[in-house]
Amino acid sequence: MDRQIVLSDLNACYASIEMARDPNLRGKPVAVCGSVEERHGIVLAKSDLAKKAGIKTGMVRWQAMRLCPNLITVPPNIDLYTRVTNRVREIYSDYSDLRDDFSIDESWIDLTGTCRAGKEANLAFEIKERLKSETGLTASMGLSWNRIFAKLGSDIAGPDAIAQITRDNMKSVVWPLPAETLMGIGRATKHKLHDMGIKTIGELAVSDPELMQRRFGKVGIILYAFANGIDNTPIKHEGVGLPIKSIGNSTTTMRDMKKDEDVRIVLMTLAESVGMRLREEGFKGYVVEFSLRTTDLHWTIHQRKLKRATDITRDILEAGFELYKEIRTLPLRGIGLRMATLVPADEPEQMNLFINEKKHTTQRSIDRAVDTIRDKYGYHSIKRGLMVMDDQLGGLNAREEHINFARF
């Protein structure tokens, strides 16, 4: 028997929560934006009316205001959003204990066996209506026999609606869609597929799997399977999270970074944040990724695999700075740092004759001592010498700002 999986995607989550909290915002274009004074004035979420005005997530506030002069902006309230989305998950739990949270506003729910066969769409509708009545939020829902098409269904459903993708309607509903609407296909993969003459999901579904494997490796086989609705990934019991795949942090600085020394100062704050989180979670990482954002808001990302996994702040800093030097661009508005390909921190590793193991052990001891002091007395209770060179750039508390995980 096929599984019956729902992907519930809360519509304009942050903005909708703000409108539910303040009814005066309803019927008006609303955007949740970061602090303009701290140069974090980026659109984090927007209402449907704001979206129709051309406003996009990630847009700078002044750009959004130019597109929509009557736009109402509100600061983010993460504690409120967490409380409301926790209530949303409680509603999901009334129907199934099998749930994977894709993000704060998206969850897969396995409804298999929770109702009479063929009535799952009615159950999805009931969940959607309860969300609306009990939290004031609407959701786009996709219902299918696998996670991939459930996600695709939520993407094409539209606000406050349900799209059901079955084996019978798959070819008519899914196959005509652009290939990039399929989960796992980003901009670069899209262009490569187009070069192969593959522009729709249907064309991907009937492609040669051996050719896909030669072109994309293992990922090619996965994309071919996704296009055909083949995905047996289980939905985990609620409370059982997916393993963390990477840990990163990024920031927009109070002023532009105009020289290498500026970048190094901010990189140190990010390296401390990422390193501390790695140590807290019990991981080391093999891959370091550096990203930069120019003053004209152009993003560039560069990464490298290290010879040895690390959670040491100094190692992360130096690797990130080397990546920066390879793509050096100034001035910069913001930068990011991420560690990926994580392994358990206690995983055995081969000794390296070309690495000073004593110095390596000392650096780790220093990091842990700094962690302990900051846990007890606060982030700014102890600073590295580099941080006092610039009060603005060195004063960033990256440990408590913008930390992010990736579990996929």
Residue 11, classified by CB atoms within 10 Å of its CB into exposed (0-12), middle (13-18) or buried (19+), is buried
What pLDDT was estimated at residue 397? 65
pLDDT tens string 264-313 = 999 999 999 999 999 988 899 999 999 998 888 787 889 999 988 999 99
- 77 Cα distance to chain centroid: 18
Extents of the domains making up the chain = 5-9+93-227, 13-79, 246-406
- Separation between Cα atoms, residue 363 and residue 377, nearest integer Å: 21
pLDDT for 250 beyond 70: yes
3-state helix, strand, coil in the chain (%, to 5): 45, 25, 35
SS3 assignment, position 346: coil
- Separation between Cα atoms, residue 97 and residue 105, nearest integer Å: 18
CB 14 within 8 A of CB 84: no
Instruction: Average the pLDDT over 367-379 and give the result.
Output: 84
- Output the pTM of the full model: 0.64
Banded pLDDT at 320 (limits 50, 70, 90): very high
**Residue 251 is encoded by which pair of tokens?**
């920031």
Phi, psi values for residue 306, rounded to 5°? -85, 160
- Separation between Cα atoms, residue 312 and residue 274, nearest integer Å: 9
13-79 to CATH, choices 3.90.180.10, 3.40.1170.60, 2.30.30.90, 3.40.50.720: 3.40.1170.60
Q: What is the DSSP letter of 197?
A: T
Cα dist. 383→258, 269, 395 in Å?
A: 23, 10, 9
What pLDDT was estimated at residue 39? 54
Banded pLDDT at 201 (limits 50, 70, 90): very high
What pLDDT was estimated at residue 407? 38
pLDDT for 344 beyond 90: no
CA torsion 212→214→217→223, rounded to 10°?
0
Residue 307 identity = K
Q: Starting from the edge strand earliest in sequence, which strands make up the sheet with 99-103, in order?
A: 99-103, 106-110, 5-10, 139-144, 161-164
Residue 331: enclosing H or E segment and its boundaries? none
- Separation between Cα atoms, residue 270 and residue 251, nearest integer Å: 8
CATH class for the domain made up of 246-406: alpha beta
Mean pLDDT rounded to a whole number for the chain: 88
pLDDT for 240 beyond 70: no
Place of tokens 């998206």: 106
Residue 52: enclosing H or E segment and its boundaries? helix 48-52
Q: Where are the beta strands (DSSP E) in 234-360?
A: 246-257, 283-294, 299-310, 332-344
What pLDDT was estimated at residue 378? 79
Instruction: Average the pLDDT over 390-397 and give the result.
Output: 74
- Separation between Cα atoms, residue 47 and residue 15, nearest integer Å: 6
- Separation between Cα atoms, residue 89 and residue 104, nearest integer Å: 10
Instruction: Average the pLDDT over 198-224 and give the result.
Output: 95
- What percentage of the chain reaches a pLDDT higher than 70? 91
**Residue 319 is encoded by which pair of tokens?**
């690797």
Closest CA relative to residue 128, chosen from 150, 164, 159, 151: 159
Q: What is the DSSP letter of 98?
A: B
What pLDDT was estimated at residue 227? 97
What pLDDT was estimated at residue 295? 83
What pLDDT was estimated at residue 351? 57
SS3 assignment, position 259: coil
5-9+93-227 to CATH, choices 3.90.78.10, 3.40.50.720, 1.10.260.40, 3.30.70.270: 3.30.70.270
**Residue 242 is encoded by which pair of tokens?**
């997916």
Banded pLDDT at 14 (limits 50, 70, 90): very high
Residue 187 identity = R
CB 336 within 8 A of CB 291: yes
Shared fold status for 5-9+93-227 and 246-406:
no
Place of tokens 């204990």: 97
What pLDDT was estimated at residue 361? 82
pLDDT for 368 beyond 60: yes
HSE of 50 in the Cβ direction (CA atoms, 13 Å)? 33
Of 62-76, 128-142, 264-278, 349-363, give the lowest mean pLDDT range.
349-363
Instruction: Average the pLDDT over 195-210 and give the result.
Output: 96
Place of tokens 């941080």: 387
Instruction: Average the pLDDT over 362-386 and give the result.
Output: 83
Most confident of 275-279, 359-363, 396-400: 275-279
Catalytic residues: 106
- Separation between Cα atoms, residue 109 and residue 100, nearest integer Å: 7
Instruction: Average the pLDDT over 10-32 and give the result.
Output: 93
pLDDT for 239 beyond 70: no
DSSP H helices in 104-185 = 120-135, 147-157, 170-173
Instruction: Average the pLDDT over 195-215 and give the result.
Output: 96
Among left, alpha and beta (phi > 0; psi -120 to 50; other), residue 239 is: left
Closest CA relative to residue 164, chosen from 149, 180, 183, 178: 149
What does DSSP say about strands 99-103 and 139-144: parallel, antiparallel, or unpaired?
unpaired
What pLDDT was estimated at residue 238? 66
CB 2 within 8 A of CB 144: no
What pLDDT was estimated at residue 220? 94
What pLDDT was estimated at residue 15? 94
Angle at 177 between CA 172 and CA 182, to 5 degrees: 115
